[in-house]
Chains A and B, each alone.
Chain A
């Protein structure tokens, strides 16, 4: 039996990739360790190595093919001594294409994307997929003047564009962090910045978060506008002293004399199957600290508009991104200078029966829940907080006044959370408007487990949001 070579999953979140280049052709003999192909994921270009020895009998997916699902058979290999002619015939079209000499631009001609064979490809199981599915199922309309052109942009690109635009406009802005320059960003968020701005302004650091968070804070005190990237906010725990004790307190302790205009940014919250130390939401931690601005955008438009605002802010900003959202596309207005106000929530969907408040990836769940609730005759209003500190209480309370019911959705722990803060606000300032106790739908109060089933059980999900909304409407 020939061996089927399948599209590999090359990162925890990879669902599909581009077969960028074949380094072997049909009839070639390969041995273990030979590089067969280059595969582009949304994060990087990876080499695909042979594990078995034998002869390449067919190439099923031509190079340049985009969107090849993980698990798709991309080639077959016959081991020595086997009858190569017995090998599964490759789809002729792609195979023929693969043999054609390629033009300079391999992507110019899009090859047909073959479907994975033998039913669904075997993908890594993760509860994170449900979070992303909810995001994909929703749409998001940025508030812009009528007639503004909208461009589908991933959150990743939007963040990069925001940094690039601000760096073009202000020579004091620079980016510093692990793998931000030559590697083009661990999550490719800083892709291209080194080429445009050079190594004076796009700076690779050693793996020393405490040190470079301090250096960034000191540079900000000295008058520069650093963007400090943490590979993830989990690692910012090493540096939290400078975020809280150095950056957040400078202005107050100096009686307004010394500022610290710095942005600490990077992915926050749960990713896919990375376990307890790499899956946590720090929004409540930073939101507790006076002197900090905390932003956690959902859509690409908000990511761009708010990161630009964060870089311009004279205050220290903790900018919490989400790895699962990086690859998601949203409409971003094509405007020369798209800057959004810090501290303003957004009505992501208007409604009259119940207010669902969330932020970051939780907004996707809230919007999906609202869709399902609509089918049951409940018209939910979804609020995307966008900025966590200062919190836009007015928008939340105004909505509560209208709907008289509230559910808070948070991809994070329930205890001392943004959800608990919102419940306190509803009690203190919106008590008379409440027709039912506020409910929170959050992750389970446990460290994130690794096992797929447990991870899924630990994460916040749409069904629970729907259930909570029905319950506060006394319809559940």
Chain B
């Protein structure tokens, strides 16, 4: 039995009432909405033990990877901006487990490490990019915010808040144009949800029935500004309604609830019904970036979410309930620590890019 954590923006430390079906809180029907077809309320995904273990492994990999990245930042090995995904793991894992790597496109903003790991991209080349090394996925020329894997159909990694929403809509345009059956998933935060281009993209996506899942990762704070200090409509899943894009609010701290919503969303979009909007209520434990002291919220608030709503702890309890032994979980943890340690060593030991790399990749052609 999963506890559905639902930290709210206004009083995130408030004890969230447990709900059986987290999506029920977001029942989008109202008198103002016409009788257009709407997606069904998603149900919590009924995962097999093997699937649950895989979700757990992926979430733990992201958690440990990000903790290590935080350490390397502290050691001066990672520079500039570094936005950690700790606390939000269930979102990327739950959603992307419903996609097909190499067929469906994923695009996100600058908090991108988790989405890459959840799409099966090698932790070594990600970590080596964070340290700015030649072996990094962008040859060390992109950095934390600018990583891509065209092979996986992971299209970044974008540093401008909201840009990925239009770009992602373009990826969906490509899927439809090519008729390749793929869908695009564009992640953005509660902060980006106020950018104008998001709504320009909503409009065209619905107008042209593009296969795209818009995902708002509402982690309650746009840098230091809480949702309800910045958003006149703080129920962000409603933001697509005036474009006729149905919205669903999802408990982003419960990987199975997330996966359940993903099932519904993917089915809707693949069926050619146009875009859908998911609002994932989640929480980041760390500051906005490594240089953010996070003075805009109390330590208690963060601790309360960690204690009551941690996505990894929750799934661990469910795994134990279905008979996964302590030893099995310990071994998994150990394996992950090894992977992360190896990635860190690789990232530290790999050489920096050759000086000549400065001038390569500016243009593809020679003119």
Which residues on A are within 8 Å of B, measured CB to CB? 174, 200, 205-206, 208, 210-224, 241-242, 245-246, 249-259, 261, 290-291, 293, 313-315, 341-343, 387, 390
Contact = CB atoms under 8 A, between A and B. Distances in A.
Most buried by B among A174, A253, A258: A253
Contacts of A258: 148, 150, 155-156
Contacts, number: 157
Contact of B361 (A213, A221, A223, A256): A256
Interface of B: 105, 107, 136-142, 146-150, 155-160, 163, 165-175, 177-178, 196-197, 200-201, 203-204, 207, 360-365, 367
Given A215-B204, A219-B173, A245-B163, A293 B362 contact: no
Given A222-B174, A253-B142, A215 B207 contact: no
A240 to B, nearest CB: 11
Contacts of B196: 210
29 contacts: A206-B207, A208-B197, A212-B204, A214-B163, A214-B166, A215-B170, A215-B201, A218-B107, A218-B170, A218-B171, A218-B172, A219-B170, A219-B171, A220-B170, A222-B170, A223-B178, A224-B177, A245-B160, A246-B167, A253-B141, A253-B146, A253-B157, A254-B148, A257-B148, A257-B150, A259-B364, A315-B363, A315-B365, A387-B367
A16 to B, nearest CB: 39
Contacts of A218: 107, 155, 166-174
Nearest to B195: A210
B103 to A, nearest CB: 12
B362 A255 contact: no
Nearest to A220: B170
Contacts of B146: 249, 253-254
B173 A245 contact: no
Nearest to A245: B160
B364 A217 contact: no
B14 to A, nearest CB: 37
Contacts of A291: 362-363
A211 B203 contact: yes
Contact of A257 (B149, B163, B167, B365): B149
B203 A208 contact: yes
B132 to A, nearest CB: 11
Contacts of A214: 163, 165-167, 169-170, 197, 200-201
Contacts of A259: 364
A197 B339 CA distance: 52
A174 B178 CA distance: 12
Contact of B139 (A220, A245, A256): A256
Contacts of A290: 362
Contact of B166 (A242, A251, A390): A242
B137 A255 contact: yes
Interface centre among B107, B148, B362 (most CB of A within 10 A): B362
Contacts of B367: 293, 341-343, 387, 390
Given A214-B169, A255-B136, A258-B155, 18 more contacts: A206-B200, A208-B200, A210-B197, A212-B166, A212-B200, A214-B163, A214-B200, A215-B173, A218-B168, A221-B171, A222-B155, A223-B174, A252-B362, A253-B156, A254-B148, A255-B142, A256-B139, A315-B365
Nearest to B353: A255
Nearest to A389: B367
Nearest to B170: A218
Nearest to A251: B361
B126 to A, nearest CB: 13
Q: Of B137, B167, B172, which is in contact with the most chain A CB atoms at under 10 Å from its CB? A: B167
Contact of B204 (A211, A249, A342): A211
Contacts of B170: 214-222
A215 B198 CA distance: 11
A211 B147 CA distance: 22
Given A246-B158, A253-B146, A215 B363 contact: no
